């Protein structure tokens, strides 16, 4: 009798070329995990992921679909984690319906982007370093409601023609500042996200905050679908997939250890 599970995972994406297995011998999270589980199960294991994070992007809540013909062994999490390299952790194996799809059943995804203004040896792998000279967080915060007012994000997609549609429905776009000051967090919650979308949005939103892009120009790009003059992705190390919601899995988003501090909501 087949057994169906979602593997609840977290990973530090610094040393991986993203989630998805790729040709050419590059190291990805999917390949590393599949090779580990193939040893554990004594057969080839192929996983279906809930998304495709880019190279260097992290995840604190990621789900991968696993089907087995036998029940999982006792202490399964311990067995797998002993074999996984540093940077990938298995939290749990959750039973799911027979027809579950990790990618297409997701109803909502949450991403958090962290950025700071001074070099910090403990943050450089876990947060995007920006020149925030002249940055006004209130200017950035004023642009965030525009994300909830618009649906077509073609102007903020790295490869719009690779998507069937560039329509995205935001539920939340929020800016936070840490209590100590000097560090910020942007949270984005939507039904889906496009390729490179969040990193493109972050780079331009920071430029709005610095006065290099006006709120009006940002709004015009959303309305018209035309890219702004600067088309640049924010550094990948600041981006985390922190939450994925399903009709049958209701878990709250999880911040990374580096982000578990006091935050003040600015928008």
Q: Which residues are catalytic?
A: 54
Query: What's the rounded Cα separation, in Å, for the pair 50 and 106?
Result: 7
Burial 189-227 (b: 16+ CB within 10 A, else e): bbebbbebbbbbbbbbbbbbbbeebeeeebeebbeeeee
Query: What's the rounded Cα separation, in Å, for the pair 33 and 52?
Result: 14
Query: What's the rounded Cα separation, in Å, for the pair 205 and 213?
Result: 8
Contact between residue 103 and residue 49 where contact means Cβ atoms under 8 Å apart: yes
108-116 and 239-245 as β-strands: parallel, antiparallel, unpaired? Answer: antiparallel
Coil/strand/helix, residue 195 = coil
Contact between residue 107 and residue 176 where contact means Cβ atoms under 8 Å apart: no
């Amino acid at each position: 009798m087949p057994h169906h599970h979602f593997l609840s995972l977290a990973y530090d994406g610094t040393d991986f070329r993203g989630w998805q297995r790729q040709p050419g011998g590059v190291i990805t999270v999917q390949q590393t995990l599949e090779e580990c589980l193939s040893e554990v199960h004594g057969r080839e294991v192929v996983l279906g992921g809930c998304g495709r994070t880019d190279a260097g992007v992290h995840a604190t809540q990621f789900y991968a679909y696993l089907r087995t013909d036998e029940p999982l062994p006792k202490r399964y999490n311990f067995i797998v984690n002993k074999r996984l390299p540093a940077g990938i952790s298995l939290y749990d194996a959750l039973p799911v319906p027979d027809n579950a799809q990790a990618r297409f059943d997701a109803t909502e995804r949450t991403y958090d982007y962290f950025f700071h203004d001074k070099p910090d040896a403990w943050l450089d792998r876990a947060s995007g370093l920006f020149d925030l000279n002249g940055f006004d967080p209130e200017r950035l915060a004023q642009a965030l409601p525009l994300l909830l007012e618009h649906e077509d994000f073609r102007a903020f997609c790295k490869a719009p023609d690779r998507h069937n549609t560039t329509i995205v429905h935001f539920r939340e776009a929020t800016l936070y500042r840490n209590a100590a000051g000097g560090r910020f967090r942007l949270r984005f919650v939507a039904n889906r996200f496009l390729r490179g979308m969040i990193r493109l949005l972050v780079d331009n939103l920071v430029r709005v905050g610095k006065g290099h892009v006006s709120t009006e120009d940002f709004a015009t790009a959303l309305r018209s679908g035309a890219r702004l003059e600067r088309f640049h992705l924010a550094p990948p190390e600041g981006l985390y997939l922190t939450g994925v919601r399903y009709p049958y899995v209701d878990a709250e988003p999880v911040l990374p250890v580096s982000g578990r501090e006091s935050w003040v909501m600015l928008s």
